[in-house]
Amino acid sequence: MARITFKNVRHAYPSPKGQAPVYALKEINQIWEDGGAYALLGPSGCGKTTLLNIISGLLTPSEGEILFDGEEVTQLPTSERQIAQVFQFPVVYDTMTVFDNLAFPLRNRGAEESLVNQRVEQIADMLDLTDSLKQRASGLTADGKQKISLGRGLVRSDVNAILFDEPLTVIDPHLKWQLRSKLKELHQQVGMTMIYVTHDQVEALTFADQVVVMYDGTVVQVGTPVELFNQPHHTFVGYFIGSPGMNVLPCTIENGQPIFGNNPLKTSYPVTKALTGTTEVGIRPEFVHFSQSGIPVSIEKVEDLGRYKVVTLNHEAEVIKMVMKEGEDLPSSSPMISFDPDYTRVYCDEWLVKEEGVNE
């Protein structure tokens, strides 16, 4: 097992001659701690899979270095990196039995047959595959096949990390849940570094200790699910995590205080830096409340989602969403709202304006 370090990694896929390269990954510096459970979250095409393939060695980055426990492995081929990877669509060797499939990575590395038996049985037990060990792998259902793919990743005890590339895409929703908890359980049992790529925030937040959010080829924030929710470092994180996503509203700054429309807003810390660029204020719908005074709005729409209601409000041309808990009522006339100052954030050119003197 190992700690994986990315140093100034950039990657561009070959582009047609005469055109400037388009970077799928723009400069990534990132440390993946040994034994961590990471989720790599981001929209399709943000570079998640590229990053994963660089770790496993299926791709060599155009620039930068990869270190495993401080040793450079950038040019090392996949087979020498001791990385396991599970793909979006199940890969099974159709002609082999389930047992032989699971034993394949071990046998390729010349493991003793007794060790193979022991490991395969252990893994099969973990994944509830014991009954079908003697079956042909081609006869299994999609989730059975994906379990085999998972199993082939887990069967080697010497792997540095297991990478999952949206492994549950083809699985039925109710089995998704099962397999995800299985993975979490396995992580606790074996303690290997796991990196889990997904574009589904629920999947990411339930699986991982640390969520790495990617957007447009860069890592925009790394943090626990709670941190991502409370303190999005980038407006994209705000949008992408949470349902509905964060309200991002245009604002101006006067005397360290954001002004939205004509309404000055309170924040937990003043903006002391001089800002050049587009300034915006971000507030999650959960922290928008009706109040006696504040910003006058009109109610456009109320969606009842059972446990809570999502209210869509208009203030001049801006749309604001708010979440209303069960039991709360809509105000009868001329509604006004206020934002919770502790969770009101100011963004400049999409990045969070941090409190000065505070390092995170």
Partner 1 sequence: MNKTQNNKAWWLVVPVLILVAFNAFIPLMTVVNYAFQETFGDNVFFWEGTTWFEQVLRSGRFHDALIRQFLFTGMILAIEVPLGVGVALTMPRKGPWVSVCLVLMALPLLIPWNVVGAMWNIFALPDIGLLGYTLNSIGIDYNFTRQPFAAWMTTVVMDVWHWTSLIVLLCYAGLSSIPDDYYQAAHIDGASRWAIFRYIQLPKMKRVLTIAILLRFMDSFMIYTEPFVLTGGGPGNTTTFLSIDLVKIALGQFDLGPAAAMSLIYFLMVLLTCWAFYTIMMRNEEQ
Nearer to partner 1, 8 or 95 (CB): 95
Nearer to partner 1, 106 or 249 (CB): 106
Nearer to partner 1, 152 or 284 (CB): 152
Secondary element (H or E) of residue 214: strand 210-215
Nearer to partner 1, 139 or 341 (CB): 139
Least CB distance from residue 38 to partner 1, whole Å?
A: 18
Half-sphere exposure of 3 (CA within 13 A, CB side): 7
Q: In whole angstroms, what separates CA 4 from the centre of its chain? A: 18
Tokens of 301: 């729409």
Least CB distance from residue 348 to partner 1, whole Å?
A: 41
The single-letter DSSP state of residue 96 is S
Least CB distance from residue 195 to partner 1, whole Å?
A: 14
Q: Is the preceding omega at residue 270 within 30 degrees of 0, hence cis?
A: no
Least CB distance from residue 49 to partner 1, whole Å?
A: 11
**CA–CA dist 302, 279 (Å, integer):** 29
Least CB distance from residue 95 to partner 1, whole Å?
A: 5
Letter for the amino acid at 120?
V
CB contact burial 82-94 (16+ within 10 A = b; e otherwise): bbbbbbbebebee
Nearer to partner 1, 103 or 337 (CB): 103
Which residues does residue 38 pair with via DSSP β-bridges, in sequence order?
A: 195, 210
DSSP 253-275: EETTEEEETTEE---SS---S--
* Nearest by Cα to 187 from 36, 68, 85: 36
Nearer to partner 1, 89 or 351 (CB): 89
Least CB distance from residue 15 to partner 1, whole Å?
A: 14
- Please state whether 238 falls in left (phi above 0), alpha (psi between -120 and 50) or beta: alpha
Nearer to partner 1, 88 or 263 (CB): 88
State the CB neighbour count (10 A cutoff) for residue 273.
13
Tokens of 123: 């893994």
* Nearest by Cα to 184 from 208, 220, 156: 208
Nearer to partner 1, 79 or 314 (CB): 79
Letter for the amino acid at 173?
P
Least CB distance from residue 208 to partner 1, whole Å?
A: 22
Which residues contact partner 1 by CB under 8 A?
53, 56, 58, 77-79, 83-85, 87-89, 91, 93-96, 104-105, 108-109, 149, 152
**CA–CA dist 298, 312 (Å, integer):** 9
Least CB distance from residue 90 to partner 1, whole Å?
A: 9
352: CB partners within 8 A, 6+ apart = 231, 232, 233, 234, 345, 346
Least CB distance from residue 335 to partner 1, whole Å?
A: 53
Nearer to partner 1, 49 or 221 (CB): 49
Q: Tokens 């046998």 appear where?
A: 107
Least CB distance from residue 57 to partner 1, whole Å?
A: 8
